[in-house]
Amino acid sequence: MTLLDVPFVDVRGDTLRWTLAPVPCTPLASRTVLLERGMSVTLSVLGASHQVVVRRDDRPLLHETVACGIAEAAPLATEHATGGYRLASHVTTVGPDELAAEAARLVERLSGRTDAVVAHFPGDPHAVTALALDGVGGTTAGEITWRTWHTYPQTGEIVATTTRYRPEEVARV
């Protein structure tokens, strides 16, 4: 787990924007996971937001960014599908004790995993941004799946996303 060296910015789940366009950014914490067939996935924490980049042989195939303040991005959709890309998101609002318990469970479940990155902000250990590949190695029959979680203690929100990406399917479109 990474303790971020930046203050937490007061954001809400409904201010998150989403795009598949490349967005230049400097991650606060990241991890690159090497997969089979020359594939890699970089999971990056951008504060209370995230970016995932899938590459084949160092060539970017997909950029997924969920963050506040992306001018030309759409609001975070509850569902989106195009070609071999599928995104689902869900916002849950809970009380302070439940949010603290959920954040602690998330940190415990993902700590030590080599296919995940977890970060929290100074001053509030329950303000967590986490990303993880699903399953061993993150691939099943050519599909890469990852999940993300963003906790916002000031609003009691937990924003969770699940993305499934089939690079071979996109290549045929």
Q: What is the DSSP letter of 167?
A: H
Q: What is the pLDDT of residue 115?
A: 95
Q: What is the mean pLDDT of residues 19-45?
A: 92
Q: What is the mean pLDDT of residues 77-90?
A: 94
Q: What is the pLDDT of residue 137?
A: 44
Largest Cα span, the chain: 48
Q: What is the pLDDT of residue 117?
A: 94
b/e 50-68 (16+ beta carbons within 10 angstroms → b): bbbbbbeeeeebbbbbbbb
Does 73 fall in a domain? yes
What contacts 26, CB < 8 A, 6 or more positions away?
none
Distances, alpha carbon 5 to alpha carbons 100, 120, 126, in Å: 21, 9, 15
Most confident of 12-16, 70-74, 80-84, 168-172: 80-84
Domain that holds residue 37: 15-172
pLDDT band at 4 (very low <50, low <70, confident <90, very high): very low
Q: What is the mean pLDDT of residues 130-134?
A: 94
Does 65 fall in a domain? yes
Q: How many domains does the chain have?
A: 1
Does 71 fall in a domain? yes
Check whether 147 has a pLDDT greater than 90.
yes
Does 6 fall in a domain? no
